[in-house]
Structure 1
């Protein structure tokens, strides 16, 4: 099947090629994608975007760890335990659920700052 895409070739000196490769590495984009975005005046990713997305991934890992811990507590609660120990487990479980809710809220706030308007579209 024929394509509607066109190949463009250009010549660069060593310094220009080195600079292009540095920009591609910094932006984490291919040469082709970087040049297309520059040509179309599209948004380029920033270092703070990468850091924020890494923060989201880290928070999601913590959230998953807490979910696993909460599930282990629930399994422990199925065993016969004293009322005092049950109360402690219940308090820990509620604390974990509260922390998970806070993590999810923080992730949502960071994501909204990175992609304004996305959440509004999802709610519509």
Structure 2
């Protein structure tokens, strides 16, 4: 398929080439796309958005781990245990649910800040 794009050869010193690679990786763009956006004065992605997205994914993984832990505690409660141990398990489940809710609130705050900034 024919293309109307022109290929340009750009010569850079090693330090500038390394900086270009670093910036392209940070913004998750190819070198060509980075040059194109800079040339056309287009908006570059904000690296903080990637960090926020990664933070949300990490928090969601923690939330899933807490859910699995809670389910294991519930399974343990089905076994014959002393009343004191049952009380401690119940307290742990409440604490796990509280931590899950706090994580979900934090994810919502991060998501809201990303959406608010994009508007």
Normalised by the size of structure 2, how large is the TM-score? 0.75
Name the structure 2 match of 1:28: 28
1:49 touches 1:114 (CA, 8 Å); kept in 2? yes
Pick from 10, 13, 18 the counterpart of residue 11 of structure 2: 13
1:45 maps to 2:43 = no
> Relative contact order (alpha carbons < 8 A, sep ≥ 6): 1 or 2 greater?
2
Normalised by the size of structure 1, how large is the TM-score? 0.72
1:37 touches 1:44 (CA, 8 Å); kept in 2? no
Alignment length, in residue pairs? 115
Whole-angstrom CA distance in 2 between matches of 1:105 and 1:28: 28
Whole-angstrom CA distance in 2 between matches of 1:105 and 1:6: 49
Structure 2 unmatched ranges of 5 or more: none
Q: Name the stretch that deviates more: 51-60 or 90-99.
A: 51-60
2:27 touches 2:44 (CA, 8 Å); kept in 1? no
TM-superposed deviation, 1:28 = 2.0
Coordinate RMSD, CA, aligned: 2.7
Structure 1 unmatched ranges of 5 or more: 119-124
TM-superposed deviation, 1:101 = 0.7
